Structure 1
Amino acid sequence: MVFEYILKKNNIDPKTDLSIDQSIDFGSTAAAFSGGQGDFTIEFEPHATALEAKGDGYVVASLGKDSGYVPYTAFSAKKSYIDANPEILQSFTNALQKGMDYVNSHTPEEIAKSIAPQFKETDLDTITAIVTRYYDQDTWKDNLIFEEDSFTLLQNILDEAGELSERVPYDTLVNTQFAKEAAK
């Protein structure tokens, strides 16, 4: 959906100007591309860097950079849970903010070294290349506050893809109190 949104922003009609094959299992798209299917592929890491390392492709653009801040990761809770457990939610959000503070105050090499144990199947050089790419793209915000502009962008993307039956007001669905407190 994000890819099609970016295409439309650049006056390319995804239905008539190109052919998008969505029949390939998401986990198999890099292998299909390496095997000769398609001229382009959309990959998450570490698959994009692996394609480059094998000489099978090159990263030519970032959907995240070209789309704007799309909230790829958001946490949801029932209102009853929020009301009953604000201290747990604040502690959780504070911990996530510490992670944001870390990535915004350390080099890609330091970040890669600290997260490497979580990615045992990926060598340190690859992790460093991935983190450097994200670092250079300004992927990480400095806080966790889910801004209204990002919420509107997400709804625009969903709407243009035909996946949104109605828009929801930002204030109805988004609670930023824990992120704002953590950012202090």
Structure 2
Amino acid sequence: MKKIIAMMVLVVMSATLMIGCGTKETAAEKEPVTEKTSNELTKVVISEFRNLSWLPVYVAYQNGYFQEEGLAPEFVLYKDGPIAFQGMHGGDSQFCLLSQEPVLKAEQEGLDSSIIYSVLDTRLYGFVGAKDIKSVKDLKGQAIFAGMPGSAPYSFVSAILKEGGLDPQKDVTFVNLDYSASMTALSQGKIKASYINVDNRIEIQSMDVNMLVDTSNPADAAKYLKADVFTGEIITTTGEFASKNPEVVQDFVNAVHKGTKWINEHSAEEVAKLVAPLFQGMEEDVLAKKITILKGAITKTGYISEESQTAVENFAIKNGVINASIPYNQIIDMQFVKTIK
């Protein structure tokens, strides 16, 4: 099977539970997962693009839960989810934190993955316009931000544009930005609308903008996601790795689930204090406000039901990510969630 090679890496952060966090400019060396550290922990590498949606993983890291399960994790940071996913399939990591859309698309194209855990029970996405943008139709001929093509935000915004009567490929211009720069670009008039996640919801409170779509609103969730439970933000590994290393995958899921449980048992302020070192440049009180918004969507179980998966697939089919349903057991592997220790 031909592997997709990662196109670019903006930053690589190598971090282990024994030695703390460090930063380097080149991709992590490809080392076998069976490599042991000096105290017999198994090294695992996680591709990601650092976003609060994957909070259970960061809590597990900060609390030492991976170490308790015999693992030594390292994070490799990329610009966006699809590139992180390509990095995993290119051999740079064993696990990836991203949304389902790139995984579904790759699966249909023959690149086998196993989705092993869901971190959120719904998708807290939004779409915000400049003060002179009163509706989606006002965006015709304008520049907008929606992540990179193939990403979940891009699919989400494309769905909104279609619902508003616009052709995403003809009626707007998608601008390439870092997620962290989108609100600045919006405030400076460089773009007229932007996708927002939980990370942006605090910032827009002080901006003169119009919220066009907000899936934390039940009406918008029903209109665009078509489901109350939408397990779009997930953790995945390759099908080959899951089949050859089930013990490692189980240990990984065990650790993440401990992080999930800890979040659900502690306040947003306590969670913010714990993970603040991983979100440098963000004030702890602001981080706590963001986590407060996110907390209600955090999974309790990590489980993806067939009903929820159908909702995700229907969304992906409607928006051209895939052209047909993928059998549940072909891509969703809940055996590790079912046997969490």
Give the counterpart letter for 1:52 in structure 2: Q
Which residue of the other structure, out of 34, 38, 47, is the alignment partner of 2:187? Answer: 34
After superposition, give the CA deviation of every residue in 1:1-31 in whole Å (9 maximum; x if it has no partner): 22454677xx644449xx6542342534212
Q: CA deviation at 1:179?
A: 1.0
CA deviations over 1:154-183 (Å, ceiling 9, x no partner): 21121111121332110122110001112x
> SS in structure 2 opposite 1:76?
strand
Number of equivalent positions: 174
CA distances 1:102-145 after superposition (whole Å, capped 9, x unpaired):
1111111111111111112100111011001112xx21110111
Distance across 2 between alignment mates of 1:115 and 1:2: 28
**Partner residue, 1:71:** 232
Amino acid at match of 2:188: G
1:144–1:179: 8 Å Cα contact kept in structure 2? yes
For 1:121, the aligned partner's letter is: G
Structure 2: gaps of 5 or more residues: 1-154
Report whether the alignment pairs 1:172 with 2:327.
Answer: no
Partner SS, residue 117 of structure 1:
helix
Distance 2:202 2:196 in 1: 9
Give, in angstroms, the shift of residue 78 of structure 1: 2.2
CA distance in 1 between partners of 2:213 and 2:164 (Å): 16
Cα distance in 1 for partners of 2:173, 2:196 equals 14
Structure 1: distance between partners of 2:232 and 2:273: 26
Aligned equivalent of 1:123: 283
The answer to whether 1:2 aligns with 2:160 is no
2-side partners of 1:132 and 1:31: how far apart? 23
Match of 1:90 in 2: 250
Q: Does the CA-based 8 Å contact 1:104-1:142 persist in structure 2? A: yes
1:181 and 2:339 matched: yes
**Greater helix content:** 1
Secondary structure, aligned partner of 2:237? coil
RMSD: 2.7
Pair 60,165 (structure 1): closer, same or farther in 2 beyond 3 Å: closer
- Code of the aligned partner of 1:161: N
Instruction: Identify the residue that residue 25 of structure 1 maps to in structure 2.
Output: 177
Distance of 2:337 and 2:234 partners within structure 1: 13
Seq. identity, %:
22
> Does the C-alpha gap of structure 1 residues 62 and 98 become closer, same or farther in structure 2, counting only changes over 3 Å?
farther
How far apart, in 2, do the equivalents of 1:63 and 1:20 lie? Answer: 22
Please list every run of 5 or more consecutive structure 1 residues that lacks an aligned counterpart in the other structure: none
Mapped to 1, the partners of 2:317 and 2:216 lie a distance apart of 18
Q: Distance in 1 between matches of 2:213 and 2:292?
A: 15
Q: 1:144 aligns with which of 302, 315, 318?
A: 302
> Which structure 1 residue ranges, 4+ long, deviate > 6 Å from structure 2?
none
Q: Which amino acid aligns with 2:262?
A: Y
Partner Cα distance (2:305, 2:172) in 1: 31
Indicate the SS of the match to 1:104: helix
Asked if 1 retains the 8 angstrom alpha-carbon contact of 2:198 and 2:293, the reply is no
Q: How far, CA to CA, are the matches of 1:20 and 1:180 in structure 2?
A: 44
CA separation of 1:23 and 1:120: change in aligned 2, threshold 3 A: closer
Instruction: Report the CA distance shift for 1:23/1:60 in structure 2 as closer, same or farther (over 3 A).
Output: closer
> Is residue 112 from structure 1 mapped to residue 272 from structure 2 by the alignment?
yes
Question: Taking structure 1 as the reference length, what is the TM-score of the superposition?
Answer: 0.79
Q: So what's the TM-score if we normalise by structure 2? A: 0.45
2:60 match: none
**Which position in structure 2 is the counterpart of 1:133?**
293
Contact 1:100 1:141 in 2 (8 A): yes
Q: Distance in 1 between matches of 2:196 and 2:317?
A: 23
Is contact 1:6-1:63 (8 Å) kept?
no
